Structure 1
Amino acid sequence: MTSILKRNRIGLIDGPPGTGKTTFAQWAAERCGRPSAVAAMPENPAPNDFLRVSIVAVTGQNPDGHNKTEMEAELVAALADWKGLLILDEIQNVGLRGLTEARYIHDTTRPQFPLLLVGWGASKTVRENQPLSERIRQRRFFKPLKGADLFTTVRAIDERFIGVPDDVIRYADDRYAQGLLRRWVALIETLQDWEVEHANEDDLTEAITSITEDEDEDEDDAA
């Protein structure tokens, strides 16, 4: 990420949902003193959705342009002034046209911003666009946490777990988190809200119950 950010290159992170791909990218940009914006692609994007979503992500406003040419110029100008990391999330939804557009925009700025392609199946998706694939400087693959990596990471991201036995962390992971950083963050935020200073199995059980009940309610509302 340091190389990508310093030289305004293109990188790629592939991995299952919830493994922390986008969170890591934003954290890395912050550590390097660069702003970041996430352009999350919808499942069935319209022809100009890459441009529209990216403009909104970078500027916080809807595009002024009314067609492809106008929006391209608007995005190029915004990125050149901004100079932050553009994270193109859910890249598997972009399609060949969107991938070509992303490469064109990055090339047109010569380049003045770093671009990160993120998604589940991102590597396979990008291989369909050889000119873009050849421009990728770094590729990384994220997986669910397990073993020593699980214990080290959980304790590193929240001090409540420093000194908590491995079997308690493993209990919460087996019952709910499944090695996914997104779920561990949900657990940690719940413990923070409850002002729990040192997590134990009972605290984690209550937090898991609370989170899963909220998730079930959200699913019922969506249905």
Structure 2
Amino acid sequence: MTNSPAAMTPLLGRAGALPPVPASVGQTFTLQAAAQAFRMMDELLDITCFDGPAGTGKTTACAYAAAQSKRKWRYCVLPLRAHPRDLIATVYEAVFQRPAGGTERLMSTTLVDRLCDGDIGLIADEVHHVGLQGAQQLRYLWDAAATRDTPFPLLLVGCDVRRELARAEEVRGRIARWVSFDLISDVEDVIAIAGAQHPRLALTDPKIIQKMNERIARRSIRAWHQIGKHIRFLPDSTSANKATGLTRDDVRLLRSMLGTDIA
């Protein structure tokens, strides 16, 4: 089963813009759980975390869920090993969609004032880049707004976030709910994700799809998105103007193009 979001998120060349949502998204159990968690966060104005390895669909899930929300969402990718001011500047630029300026304290105060307005939410991706200290700073922003009785929804996205925050109950305890993402291995999820990428994949033998998941996609949703983009370039992709499933030769060519043409 696939589903297309009601509103497609535009790809904008400016700070704060959400990542684009794929035209068709495989409705896996994890995606549905993430969308539900996002809706709860949106309504309850608290903190949620999407945690899991790279390529498992975390960013797609947050963009997909945000596209269905009536709230304005600001998205930022946190800088690697950032100093406190650099982190605040990144969030500032995402929220205000203009270059940051001023001291860390001034930017933080201005940020809290804006976040307290109640019409926007913040998605902070790659939380593992900033570690415990960076997560603390994001928590300070949320606490400052909550102290004024005007909290805002905050989504943390990253790898091994739960483990990173295990040493800091004051931060971990603020997170109301967790959604754990993992490499895809469930057969139904694999078929749903593959079929959402291209009509030919939807018609391909499930046994071939499962082998592709292990040998080409390496169980990564991100890799399946790449596979879907390549299929229209395969030779003889249609028969009598009708889509056909992939053949073993098609799969072999894909493996070669995507750099996985090994046993």
* Bin of the TM-score, shorter chain as denominator length: 0.7 to 0.9
Structure 2 contact 74–122 (Cα < 8 Å) conserved = yes
SS of corresponding position for 2:123: strand
Q: What is the 5 A alignment of 1:87-126? A: 87-110=123-146, 111-126=150-165
1-side partners of 2:90 and 2:195: how far apart?
36
- CA distance 1:191–1:57, change in 2 (3 Å): farther
The 5 A counterparts of 1:1-223 are 1-64=38-101, 66-81=102-117, 83-110=119-146, 111-146=150-185, 147-156=187-196, 158-191=198-231, 197-201=243-247, 202-212=249-259
Kindly tell me: are residues 194 and 36 of structure 1, through their superposed partners in 2, closer, same or farther at Cα, counting changes over 3 Å? farther
Distance in 2 (alpha carbons) for counterparts of 1:14 and 1:210: 30
Unaligned runs of 5+ in 2: 1-37, 238-242
Note closer, same or farther for the CA distance 1:104–1:154 as it changes in structure 2 (3 Å cut).
same
Change (3 A) 1:102 1:145: same
Compute the displacement of 1:159 (Å).
3.8
Normalised TM-score (structure 1): 0.82
Q: How many residues align?
A: 212
Question: Do the aligned partners of residues 208 and 86 (structure 1) sit closer, same or farther apart at CA in structure 2, a change above 3 Å counting?
Answer: farther
CA distance, structure 2, for counterparts of residue 154 and residue 84 of structure 1: 34
TM-score, reference length from structure 2: 0.71
2:142, 2:154 within 8 Å by CA — same for their partners in 1? yes
User: Which shifted more, 2-11 or 196-205?
Assistant: 196-205
Does structure 2 retain, via aligned residues, the 8 Å contact 1:26–1:36? no
SS state at 2:49 partner: strand
What is the Cα deviation at residue 26 of structure 1?
1.3
Aligned 8 A contact 2:51 2:162 in 1: yes
CA separation of 1:160 and 1:59: change in aligned 2, threshold 3 A: farther
Aligned counterparts of 2:104 and 2:66: Cα–Cα separation in 1: 29
SS in 1 for 2:98: coil
* Conserved? CA contact 1:91–1:125, under 8 Å: no
Q: Is the 8 A contact 1:11 1:136 kept in 2?
A: yes
* One-letter code aligned to 1:16: P
CA distance in 2, matches of 1:88, 1:105: 12
- For the Cα contact (< 8 Å) 1:5–1:29, is it kept in 2? no
Q: Say which structure is richer in helix.
A: 1
Query: Which runs of no fewer than 5 residues in structure 1 stay unpaired?
Result: 214-223
Identical positions, percent? 25
Q: How far apart are 1:125 and its partner, in Å? A: 1.6
Deviation at 1:142, TM superposition (A): 0.8
Query: For 2:120 and 2:168, how far apart are their aligned partners in 1?
Result: 24
Q: 1:60 to 1:186 in 2, by over 3 A?
A: farther
Q: Which amino acid aligns with 2:223?
A: R
Quote how far apart the aligned CAs of 1:192 are: 5.2
